[in-house]
């Protein structure tokens, strides 16, 4: 079965090739020299600019995904700072994350999949300062349209010492975390 991204890629490859072939046909069948030159120029223009367009589209697609991941990272850092302040004042972590953000907006994970989803908070985290206490519910997918082999699925995690770390989905599963 063809994936939608693959169909889009095939269409992107076929249309400029057709325009380039039209330019060659026009250059070959035209009677006037100016029409032949225009056809050759059209073919050369498509041939040289098309790969750059593909690369720019791929870079923009990945940058958008990466931006959602960075906003999520910032939101988790805000939670981490607030948890550390709460721990300084009360001596332990709260039972629920809403205790920390009384009357304030609760940080949420942005992005297409986790749009507005709250972070998962583990109140029964061990006393280890490297224990993961908070993470995003849905993984972030860094999608490339051309270089699909560079696609990644990442998650942000917050440790008890306030450090926010971005890990792959496989590393996340290796941590043994579940909701």
Q: Chain-wide mean pLDDT for the chain?
A: 77
pLDDT band at 1 (very low <50, low <70, confident <90, very high): very low
* Inter-CA distances, 110 with 57, 79, 116, Å: 22, 14, 6
- At residue 125, the pLDDT reads 61
pLDDT tens for 92-103 read 888 888 888 888
Could you tell me which of 90, 155, 154, 156 has the C-alpha nearest to residue 123?
90
pLDDT tens for 146-170 read 777 778 888 889 988 889 998 888 8
Query: Are the CB atoms for 94 and 134 separated by under 8 Å?
Result: no
In the predicted model, is pLDDT for residue 113 greater than 60?
Answer: no
Query: Are the CB atoms for 71 and 63 separated by under 8 Å?
Result: no
- Exposure string over 72-92, b if 16+ CB within 10 A, otherwise e: bbebbbebbebbeebeeeeee
pLDDT band at 115 (very low <50, low <70, confident <90, very high): low
For residue 132, give the DSSP letter: E
Do you know the residue count of the chain?
179
Query: Are the CB atoms for 26 and 39 separated by under 8 Å?
Result: yes
Prediction pTM value: 0.67
> 1 or 34: which carries more pLDDT confidence?
34
């Amino acid at each position: 079965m063809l994936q939608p991204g693959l169909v889009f890629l095939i269409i992107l490859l076929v249309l400029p090739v057709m325009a380039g072939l039209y330019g060659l046909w026009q250059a070959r069948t035209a009677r006037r020299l100016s029409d032949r030159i225009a056809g050759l120029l059209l073919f050369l223009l498509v041939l040289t600019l098309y790969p750059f367009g593909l690369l720019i589209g791929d870079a923009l697609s990945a940058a958008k995904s990466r931006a959602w991941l960075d906003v999520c990272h910032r939101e988790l850092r805000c939670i981490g700072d607030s948890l550390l302040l709460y721990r300084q004042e009360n001596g332990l972590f709260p039972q629920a994350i809403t205790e920390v953000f009384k009357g304030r907006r609760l940080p949420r994970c942005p992005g297409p999949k986790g749009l507005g989803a709250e972070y998962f908070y583990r109140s029964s985290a061990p006393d280890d300062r490297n224990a993961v206490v908070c993470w995003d519910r849905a993984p972030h997918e860094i999608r490339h349209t051309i270089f699909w082999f560079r696609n990644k699925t990442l998650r942000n995690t917050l440790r008890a010492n306030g450090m926010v770390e971005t890990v792959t989905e496989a590393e996340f599963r290796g941590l043994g975390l579940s909701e």
